[in-house]
Structure 1
Amino acid sequence: MDPTACDAAPTRLRNTPSWLLSQLTAHAHRLVWDAFSATDDRRYHYALLAAVEEYGPASQAALGRRCGIDRSDVVAALNELADRGLVTRSPDPADRRRNIVSVTPGGRRHLERLDEVLGRAQDELLAGLSADERGQLVRLLQRALEHHAPSRREE
């Protein structure tokens, strides 16, 4: 992130959480993109592998909803992961029109490597904060995000 660009912004902007978050988000996207590109991966690969590993086999549609990824992007990303032997797809016995995605042992090992890659990107992103401050930032961001979650808006 170019510090002069941040310093050059009007004070009103520099003291606005939405502006600060957008600037940090742009920097975070670049860091994560570069980190995953080095392993020939993308954010969608990580999200899908993490979801299947954590929640177990699932349909492509369920994975898309869980990860917030458009259906066509889910299919493309799963094709890439399947081509690399990281996931398998098989027909759902309850509905043969639907595929169930499972992570392979190689996919689990690859996810562990991606955890390390992402961890290094997070460390670089938050290098100016102590471990306690990082934890506090994550908790505050989670609370703010939970407040705006679709289920809360429907109440």
Structure 2
Amino acid sequence: MTRGEAADPPDSGALRTPDRLRRRASRLLSQLTARSDRLINVGLAEVDARKWHYAVLASLADYGPGSQAELSGRTGIYRSDMVGVLNELGERDLVERAPDPHDRRRNIITISTRGRRQLRRLDKVLDTLHDDLLAPLNPAERDQLVQLLTRLLDHHTRTS
């Protein structure tokens, strides 16, 4: 499946969708999320990566080494899923695990040099995918959309 196939063609039923549904932000966000996830998942799969790989590598690059629990909190990846993600990244030599000097029962995860190179490659892939996703918007509109979505998410993250 190519990236073009990942994004659904324009909804031919959009004209038949009741206006009251097309005016609901929650419905629009849900539909766009589904299309965005499909586009990103397929695009990353084309370069043998997954969105959780990117999330862990970005977290390690931006915030430094951390335990599995810390990485779970930073990325939103369930702790039970984190082990599998770290195993995949470890098998590819993208992260390194070492015993925590303060608590030998847990490991500290660090991004490797190879992981930093992979993260730069994935940044470029995601830039292209986001350009596809946001194609109808000009740069100022894209920035505004990200600011508005961030504001909404921050509000609902604080209150939940």
TMscore range, shorter length:
over 0.9
1:153 alignment partner in structure 2: 159
- Report the secondary structure of 1:58's partner residue: coil
2:91 alignment partner in structure 1: 83
Whole-angstrom distance in 2 between the partners of 1:87 and 1:42: 15
- Report the secondary structure of 1:96's partner residue: strand
**Does residue 111 in structure 1 map to residue 119 in structure 2?**
yes
1:36 alignment partner in structure 2: 44
Following superposition, the deviation at residue 11 of structure 1 comes to 1.2
Structure 1 alignment gaps of length 5 or more: none
**Does residue 94 in structure 1 map to residue 130 in structure 2?**
no
Which of 122, 146, 153 does residue 138 from structure 1 map onto? 146
After TM superposition, the score normalised by the length of structure 1 is: 0.95
Following superposition, the deviation at residue 153 of structure 1 comes to 2.1
Following superposition, the deviation at residue 8 of structure 1 comes to 2.9
Whole-angstrom distance in 2 between the partners of 1:143 and 1:56: 26
- Which amino acid in structure 1 is aligned with residue 18 of structure 2? P
- Report the secondary structure of 2:13's partner residue: helix
> Percent of aligned positions with the same letter in both sequences?
51
Whole-angstrom distance in 2 between the partners of 1:121 and 1:7: 27
Following superposition, the deviation at residue 40 of structure 1 comes to 1.1
2:56 alignment partner in structure 1: 48
Which of 62, 72, 91 does residue 80 from structure 2 map onto? 72
How many residue pairs are counted as aligned between the two chains?
Answer: 152
2:4 alignment partner in structure 1: none
Q: CA RMSD in A?
A: 1.1
- Which amino acid in structure 2 is aligned with residue 123 of structure 1? D
- Which amino acid in structure 1 is aligned with residue 20 of structure 2? R
- Which amino acid in structure 1 is aligned with residue 17 of structure 2? A
- Which amino acid in structure 2 is aligned with residue 70 of structure 1? Y
Following superposition, the deviation at residue 7 of structure 1 comes to 3.0
- Report the secondary structure of 1:4's partner residue: coil
Whole-angstrom distance in 1 between the partners of 2:13 and 2:115: 40
After TM superposition, the score normalised by the length of structure 2 is: 0.92
Structure 2 alignment gaps of length 5 or more: 1-7
